[in-house]
Amino acid sequence: MQIKLSSIFVEDQDKALDFYTRVLGFKPHADIPMGEYRWLTVVSPDGVDGVELVLEPMAFPPAKVYQKALFEAGIPATAFMSRDVAAEYAQLKERGVVFHGEPQNMGPVILAKFEDTCGNLIHLAQPLM
């Protein structure tokens, strides 16, 4: 069994595609029209081949409530791994990414939390083990 797809809810697929590609540096992968929305995925140039992040449209009303509750509670929707959180933090801040504090050493991991402009908080994580 393998994980090939992981979804994140986004308020606006075009805005999400811009942020995840232009700001974070992910690469567009699938962009397939599906009625009012699209099957839209990105991949990490540093990631495992074949693993895609689905930029899932916020078409299901309870998803909007869930996303808002996570955000207001300060709970990230997902985490992206980094070899050097401090360097990525500085680079992303220069690109205008809004962080909720500076990177923090949490024992086995260094974490920095940022907003994706699409209603989500994301952890940037660097394992120390």
| Rounded distance between C-alpha atoms, residue 127 and residue 117, angstroms | 25
CATH number of the domain encompassing residue 37: 3.10.180.10
Q: Which range marks the domain in which residue 14 is found?
A: 5-127
Quick: pLDDT tens for 61-78: 999 999 999 999 999 999
Contact between 6 and 41 (Cβ < 8 Å): no
Residues composing the chain: 129
* 23, 47, 95, 118, 129 from 19: Cα distances, Å: 5, 18, 10, 9, 30
Per the structure block, which two tokens stand in for 25? 């540096």
- SS3 state of residue 120: coil
Give the count of domains, the chain.
Answer: 1
Q: How many helices (H) and strands (E) does the chain have?
A: 3, 8
78: which residues sit within 8 A by CB, 6+ positions away? 6, 8, 120, 122, 123
Q: What is the pLDDT of residues 9-53, one digit of tens each?
A: 999 999 999 999 999 999 999 999 999 999 999 999 988 888 999
Q: Residue 22 has what pLDDT? A: 97
**What residues have CB less than 8 Å from 47, skipping those under 6 apart?**
none
> Do 98 and 112 contact (CB within 8 A), yes or no?
no
